[in-house]
């Protein structure tokens, strides 16, 4: 197998983002295939016993077992690291496998974590339920309040954990400030960059230590597989993450890795076009929603309190936004009247999808936590896809009218 492109080659470092997304991490076999090969194998064979012993001892390069390495998965890891501007990346079985591994691999009983209160429901479950069960204290704060990050630091604070933009309230964290604060206190930042993808935002450029992904979202981009990834320095990945990953096994299947590799080829194009469409649909909706007494939560619109910051730290503001129509009844009426946009709780897909977070993605967290993070009963979240924007506007127009908005 020939590594035609690799992270250590000077050429790849010069490549611009679209080239990295399409060609980064391509290893070609002796057949010279254009598209990456799919290695559906759990194990490997060896010419002699000394070879396998050297590989297990870490003295020779080469695959030993697909929980540890697989050529298709390795291609994906190399491409994601290159797109992120990270020294290394490891693929994970899902986004939640990535978040769990990124936290548990480095924390122990007696540590303290500061986390953003606005977050995907399962990410909040890690912070509110899982970590405390193992003696790890957690504090949740308003992530848009820079002073709150500083005030929450304790002598045993080890990790800052947050999403930006956050699911589903689109809170924006000041990456430069929060990552700088963490560095100054020897705290590791773990940023969930699922809403943006490396095509729109690269948190490491602002000082983030670890960037974790649900690759199920924009990276796949076509709603096919679950996948995740964690990016960091080579040393952190090898010394902190790998011992945890090797022995607990949240490994990505080679097939799913191959699907995500295909998704990444078009990621920059999709992410930018879907961001443009999200701004256009948001501009159409905003006067209607505000006239009806509702709220728009859209980092791409001037009305978002951190619109300027979002524009400064993101190349484009992404395909997802939310808006509040007042009550659960009205929100359900809008969803039920949709003719083109699907009712679905996934995001990052090339299809437009809409959901009611309070009864789906954030249902399990309890009414109090939902109220605290602004997941109201009238809130709807939309992922804007690649359909003709006029068709999307017409569908929203008729669905709002049907709901009396």
Ligand X SMILES: Cc1ncc(COP(=O)(O)O)c(C=O)c1O
96 in contact with ligand X (CB under 6 A):
yes
256 in contact with ligand X (CB under 6 A):
no
Q: Which span (102-110, 120-128, 130-138, 257-265) binds ligand X, by CB under 6 A?
A: 120-128
Nearest to ligand X of 91, 226 (CB atom): 226
357 in contact with ligand X (CB under 6 A):
no
Rounded distance between C-alpha atoms, residue 254 and residue 43, angstroms: 12
- Give the distance between the most distant pair of CA atoms in the chain: 75
How many chain residues are in contact with ligand X, going by CB under 6 A?
Answer: 17
120 in contact with ligand X (CB under 6 A):
yes
Write down the least CB distance from residue 320 to ligand X, Å.
9
Write down the least CB distance from residue 258 to ligand X, Å.
17
Cβ-proximal residue to ligand X, closest one: 95
8 burial via Cβ count (<10 Å: 0-12, 13-18, 19+): exposed
Question: Which listed residue (123, 170, 211, 271) binds ligand X by CB under 6 A?
Answer: 123
CA end-to-end distance (rounded Å), the chain? 59
Write down the least CB distance from residue 216 to ligand X, Å.
3
From the list 85, 90, 115, 117, the residue with the least C-alpha distance to 16 is 85
Query: 76 in the Ramachandran plot: left (φ > 0), alpha (ψ -120 to 50) or beta?
Result: alpha
Q: Which of residues 310-339 bind ligand X (CB under 6 A)?
A: none
Q: What is the DSSP letter of 226?
A: -
Write down the least CB distance from residue 28 to ligand X, Å.
29
From the list 44, 39, 17, the residue with the least C-alpha distance to 27 is 39
36 in contact with ligand X (CB under 6 A):
no
Q: Which span (81-89, 105-113, 118-126, 386-394) binds ligand X, by CB under 6 A?
A: 118-126
Write down the least CB distance from residue 91 to ligand X, Å.
12
Write down the least CB distance from residue 316 to ligand X, Å.
17
Beta bridge partners of 112: 137, 157
221 in contact with ligand X (CB under 6 A):
no
Beta-strand (E) ranges in 133-179? 137-141, 157-163
95 in contact with ligand X (CB under 6 A):
yes
282 in contact with ligand X (CB under 6 A):
no
197 in contact with ligand X (CB under 6 A):
no
Cα angle value 101/253/9 (rounded, 5°): 80
User: Could you tell me how far CA 170 lies from the centroid of its own chain?
Assistant: 13
- Is the dihedral angle over the CA atoms 122, 128, 130, 131 positive or is it negative? positive
Question: Which listed residue (72, 143, 189, 216) binds ligand X by CB under 6 A?
Answer: 216
Write down the least CB distance from residue 41 to ligand X, Å.
24
From the list 105, 112, 208, 189, the residue with the least C-alpha distance to 155 is 112
Contact set with ligand X (CB under 6 A) = 94-96, 99, 120, 122-123, 163, 167, 192, 194-195, 214, 216, 226, 228, 347
């Amino acid at each position: 197998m020939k590594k035609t492109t690799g992270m250590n080659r000077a050429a790849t470092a010069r490549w611009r983002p679209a080239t990295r997304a399409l060609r980064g991490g391509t290893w070609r076999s002796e057949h010279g295939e254009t598209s990456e090969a799919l290695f559906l194998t759990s194990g490997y064979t060896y010419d002699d016993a000394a070879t396998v012993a050297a590989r297990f001892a870490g003295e020779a390069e080469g695959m030993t077992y697909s929980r540890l390495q697989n050529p298709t998965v390795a291609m994906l890891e190399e491409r994601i690291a290159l797109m992120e501007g990270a020294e290394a990346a490891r693929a994970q079985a899902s986004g939640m496998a990535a978040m769990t591994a990124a936290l548990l691999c480095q924390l122990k009983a007696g540590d303290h974590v500061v986390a953003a209160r606005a977050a995907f429901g399962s990410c909040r479950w890690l912070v509110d339920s899982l970590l405390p069960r193992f003696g790890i204290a957690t504090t949740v704060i308003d992530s848009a309040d820079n002073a709150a990050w500083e005030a929450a630091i304790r002598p045993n604070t080890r990790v800052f954990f947050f999403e930006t933009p956050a699911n589903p309230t689109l809170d924006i964290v000041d990456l430069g400030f929060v990552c700088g604060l963490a560095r100054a206190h020897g705290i590791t930042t773990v940023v969930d960059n699922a809403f943006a993808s490396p095509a729109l935002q690269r948190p490491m450029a602002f000082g983030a230590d670890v960037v974790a992904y649900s690759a199920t979202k924009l990276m796949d981009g076509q709603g096919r597989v679950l996948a995740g990834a964690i990016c960091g320095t080579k040393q952190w990945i090898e010394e902190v993450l790998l011992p945890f990953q090797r022995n607990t096994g949240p490994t990505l299947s080679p097939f799913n890795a191959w699907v995500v590799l295909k998704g990444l080829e078009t990621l920059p194009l999709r992410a930018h076009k879907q961001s443009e469409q999200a701004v256009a649909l948001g501009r159409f909706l905003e006067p209607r929603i505000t006239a009806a007494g509702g709220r728009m939560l859209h980092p791409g619109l001037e009305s978002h309190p951190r619109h300027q910051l979002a524009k400064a730290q993101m190349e484009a503001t992404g395909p997802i936004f939310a808006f509040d129509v007042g009550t659960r009844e009205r929100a359900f009426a809008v969803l039920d009247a949709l003719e083109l946009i699907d009712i679905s709780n996934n995001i990052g897909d090339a299809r437009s999808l809409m959901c009611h977070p309070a009864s789906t993605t954030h249902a399990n967290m309890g009414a109090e936590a939902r109220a605290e993070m602004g997941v109201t009963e009238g809130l709807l979240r939309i992922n804007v896809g690649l359909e003709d924007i006029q068709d999307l506007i017409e569908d929203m127009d008729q669905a709002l009218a049907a709901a009396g908005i």
